[in-house]
Amino acid sequence: MSGAPAAAPDRVDLPVSGMTCAACARLIERTLAKTPGVTRAAVNFASNTATVEYDARQVRVADFVGAIEGLGYGVPEREVRPGAGEPDYRRRFQVAVCLAVPLMILGMNMASPWLQLALALPVVAYSGAPFYIAAWSALRHRAANMNSLIALGTGAAFLYSLYETLRGGMQVYYEAAAVIIALILLGRMLEARARGKASDAIRKLMDLQPPTARLWNGGVESEVPVEQVQPGDTLVLRPGERIAVDGVVVEGESAVDESLLTGESMPVDKRPGAAVFAGTFNRSGSFRYRATKVGRGTVLQRMVELVKQAQGSRAPVARLADVVSGYFTVGVLIAAVVTFAVWLFFAPFATAMVNAVAVLIVACPCALGLATPTAIMVGTGRGAARGILIKSGEALEMARNVRCIVLDKTGTVTEGKPRVTRIAPAAGYTEGELLRLAASAERSSEHPIGRAVVEAAVARGIELEEAVGFTSEAGHGVRARVGGREVVVARPGVTVTVDGASAGAIEVADAIKPEAAEAVRRLRALGLEVWMLTGDRRNVAEAIAREAGIEHVVAEALPDRKVDEIRKLQTGGRRVAMVGDGINDAPALAQADLGIAMGSGAGVAMEAGDITLLGGNLTGVADAIQLSRRTMRVIRQNLFWAFAYNTIGIPVAAMGLLSPMLASAAMALSSVTVVTNSLRRERK
């Protein structure tokens, strides 16, 4: 007899407070992963959550809480929203700026060290506290990161200045510590603000499900909370309402907007036996439907889970500065200790200490801290001026590495709304006459196809007649008397009959965007592989792809399949960008390495995306990729110069050829070089 199958691991999602950078998340993740009984641990810095899969027979949730708190972070009882630390960053930054500016002025005028100490102390003790706490936590666990460098540099400048003040000296560097803290806080504040949008996509998806449903029980309607609906219950839906749960129509007919699922602007006609889905919008008509899936089983809730899963599984992009900083910090500390020890043999204690502090000051990561933020600020500013909103530096970095672009069809490659594309009158009719009769009959229709016909007639300056006896049948079309003649406009294909005889046909379709072909050409010229992924029918998708010059097409894909297709393309380490504008694109945008949302589309897609193109112009995708490549080139140059100054300055300071004052000037010069290089790119 074979052994019993292994039980599925338990899973818990814990809110985590106090994380200041991706390195914090990695430290917590490594610590949790080493806990006995844990099979998988993932910490999402964007959502401030830790997800742990574990064997409940070996470990308890309380053990995870203790491990996280032991690192210096918190596990609050209530949910921590992404970006919750932003107001705290803002206050700390405001304090730092207000005190650092007068400190710089006093420092240049050799003002009283005690006055400078009074101004610097709140900056170090309050504004810089998160860096020192994080650095101490990393040190306790034998790790080093950017927080370690910040704490080391600013701490050295402050403590040496305090020593000088206590001994009556005048060579103090309080302003250096305060300015560094203010600049780093600015970067953290902007990062926290961008991360605050991470969960908006999930929240907006969840808001699409109505809180109540209208239960039908033996001819009696009663409104109940949606949580109380059970499979098999019969529900009533009226025009203008959203469907509460997944189900099947049992009585009545209507047209339902399912762009939530497919991204298609055309409403879907529903008759008895047709499936309906939670969150979709009932445009016209009433019907009763039987609940088949409720709660987490609905397509809408599965979409929510897909977005959560995709966001959580996407690891933060490794930054060169963060990787090198661990080794660099240890190297700087060793260099300072060696400098102090060597000089102590040949000179007084004060000289040895001054030279050691000079090593620490010249190695202070001011330029290193500015290398990435300044380039990103310039890059994102240039992007915003061109209608490209980039939410984070990570998005810029990832855009450079993208090798495959996946385009949604509706609203991305196409206009996103039905439009008359061809008029084919029968013998005896002109295009204008056929359009006049059809549009006159459709004047009272609320169907998108009917509105498209009316808009086409109005655009041509055709004067419409009053329709008499207008009737509309879901899934069939409209009927009316126009000028004494019986006009029938049949759907879904728009065929027109007058007095029972064919008058011709009007083709209504979602037209391709004017810039689509040029945008695709530019993407391919950048060496990118271009795909189109849509929920529309295969024949329609392939026709649009041919017109736009797209070689690879996946059609008839609902949200979960879109995510699967993105995953397939990601095999082998290939970086994939997804471009979309619909709610149905949100899971795929989150799963992709880079999500690009069209600004003309749904807000949930814009929040799920890492980059938003205002106005929805597809050429902005190529612009964003080019902007990313240029910005990352600047960042690499900045990092080179930042490390070059430190590499040259450290041995010079160790030899006693660089006083703390000159070390501070060299550090400032490295910062000026980095900022100037970034601004030079802005003018190009």
* Contacts of 445 by beta carbon, 8 Å cutoff, 6+ apart: 451, 454, 470, 472, 478
3-state DSSP call for residue 568? Answer: helix
Nearest to 533 by CA among 202, 258, 262: 262
Mark 179-214 as b/e (b = at least 16 C-beta within 10 Å): bbbbbbbbbbbbbbebbbbbbbbbebbeebbbeebb
Give me the long-range contacts of 560-569 (CB less than 8 A, separation at least 24).
560/302, 560/303, 560/306, 560/587, 562/533, 562/535, 562/587, 562/588, 563/306, 563/310, 563/587, 563/588, 563/591, 565/406, 565/533, 566/406, 566/533, 566/591, 566/592, 567/591, 569/404, 569/406, 569/531
First-to-last C-alpha distance (Å) of the chain: 73
The type of residue at 319 is: R
Lateral strand order in the sheet of 467-473 = 414-425, 501-512, 494-498, 485-490, 477-482, 467-473
* Contacts of 579 by beta carbon, 8 Å cutoff, 6+ apart: 405, 406, 407, 408, 412, 596, 597, 598, 618, 621
C-alpha to C-alpha distance for 472 and 476, rounded to whole angstroms: 8
Token pair listed for 158 = 């402050």
CA angle 441, 445, 447 (to 5 degrees): 125
Phi, psi dihedrals of residue 111, rounded to the nearest 5°: -70, 175
The type of residue at 631 is: T
Single out the catalytic residue among 408, 585, 610, 623: 408
- Number of Cβ within 10 Å of residue 110's Cβ equals 11
C-alpha to C-alpha distance for 238 and 256, rounded to whole angstroms: 11
- Number of Cβ within 10 Å of residue 128's Cβ equals 27
Active-site residue flag, 408:
yes
* Contacts of 307 by beta carbon, 8 Å cutoff, 6+ apart: 201, 202, 205, 586, 587, 590, 608
Nearest to 681 by CA among 381, 342, 405: 381
Tokens 């803002």 correspond to 90
Classify strands 281-284 and 485-490 as parallel, antiparallel or unpaired.
Answer: unpaired
Is residue 548 within 8 A of residue 510, CB to CB? The reply is: no
C-alpha to C-alpha distance for 210 and 238, rounded to whole angstroms: 13
DSSP for residue 535:
S
The type of residue at 256 is: V
Token pair listed for 27 = 């430290």
Is residue 309 within 8 A of residue 322, CB to CB? The reply is: no
Query: What size, in residues, is the chain?
Result: 684
Tokens 């390195």 correspond to 23
C-alpha to C-alpha distance for 365 and 378, rounded to whole angstroms: 20
- Active site (catalytic) residues: 408
